Structure 1
Amino acid sequence: MDDIKYFDKALFSDLKQKAAESPRRRANFNVHKSYTDLVQRLFIAMMPDSYVRPHRHVQAHKWEFFMVVEGELNILFFNDEGVVTERVTLAANGETSGIEIPPNTWHATVCHSPVVFMEVKQGPYEMSVDKGFANWSPEEGSDLVPRFLASLKQAKVGSEVNCLSSHIS
């Protein structure tokens, strides 16, 4: 039974430690063997100060599935102008613990405490065409990120989070 893979609390604890030590404040454990695999499966640990830039998967077949296994996170959905159209809480033991996001859907994730979730998506993974980033959001590493991330964490449906506008509401 050498091919059976186990995913336990020790793995998740280690993953959270790696995320805490990472400059990006998140870490992943790939279950798939290669980026060329037709199904990409990975566990991701994310710290509250990790910035996931709003993006969409522009390829017509690139859906994305999330399932929270420890903790809680919020997924925000946006229109083309950076207005929050929906905010969903996923919690390991909550009312909703998983979601599938269709292609071409603007989204971002935020958390208020460490979280571990599983992501499944269509492969192969090609970094150059995987994501289209929202031009109304700051690039990772920008001085605008802390303020923008704080606005995402508080954003309600109908709020504009466009960092290019004179205010972030």
Structure 2
Amino acid sequence: MTRSVLLDSALLAPALDEARQLPRRRKNLNLHTSSEAPAQRFFNAMEPNSYVRPHRHLDAGKEETLLVVRGSVGVFEFDDDGAVIRAARLSAAGDAFGLHVPLGVWHSLVALEPGTVFLEVKGGPYVPFSPGDFAPWAPAEGDPAAAAFIAALRSRLD
């Protein structure tokens, strides 16, 4: 028998624990059953020192919707040269709690609190990032310059 999934703290707890321990400091908890599913729906548990390299989606149906369900994130949009054109704080308990990112928009985010979780929704099937999806003006994941990049983004929220 198929049953519904209760979206509660107990469901999120394992992903939160893993995010604290993993080198990338984040962990997805998929609600979709396959990478081929026509809708990709998942929670992303993220810690403050996780780096999401600025990127964009160009393929039809790959717009993203993010809804913060726990903690808070800083979201950033950039122009083609890497200048920040929007910096906003999203919080599960705040007025601004989500963001819809259209195709072609350079964006990134940083967790602002330990134990932050957001729901992400986009069209499937899953397509891995290609090198052209990442902003050429931003440090690559694993680059020591990423920590300074994150700090500079956070300073835009103060």
Q: Percent identity?
A: 40
Cα deviation for residue 143 of structure 1 reads: 1.6
Cα deviation for residue 87 of structure 1 reads: 1.2
Partner in structure 1 of residue 41 of structure 2: 41
Amino acid at match of 2:133: G
Structure 2 CA distance, aligned partners of 1:24 and 1:37? Answer: 25
Cα deviation for residue 29 of structure 1 reads: 0.4
Structure 2 CA distance, aligned partners of 1:3 and 1:147? Answer: 45
TM-score by length of 2: 0.92
Change (3 A) 1:64 1:117: same
Cα deviation for residue 131 of structure 1 reads: 7.0
| Superposed counterparts of 1:1-169, under 5 Å | 2-114=2-114, 115-129=116-130, 132-155=133-156
Change (3 A) 1:107 1:46: same
Cα deviation for residue 128 of structure 1 reads: 4.3
- Uncovered stretches (5+) of structure 1, i.e. residues with no partner: 157-169
Residues 95-119 of structure 1: per-residue CA shift (max 9 Å, x gap): 0112211011000001221210100
Cα deviation for residue 13 of structure 1 reads: 2.5
Aligned pairs, number: 156
Structure 1 CA distance, aligned partners of 2:60 and 2:28? Answer: 25
Q: Hey, which bits of structure 1, 4+ residues long, moved more than 3 A?
A: 128-131
Amino acid at match of 2:148: R
Change (3 A) 1:46 1:128: closer
Structure 2 CA distance, aligned partners of 1:128 and 1:14? Answer: 26
Structure 2 CA distance, aligned partners of 1:17 and 1:128? Answer: 26
1:56 partner SS: coil
**In angstroms, what is the RMSD of aligned CA positions?**
1.6
Amino acid at match of 1:14: P
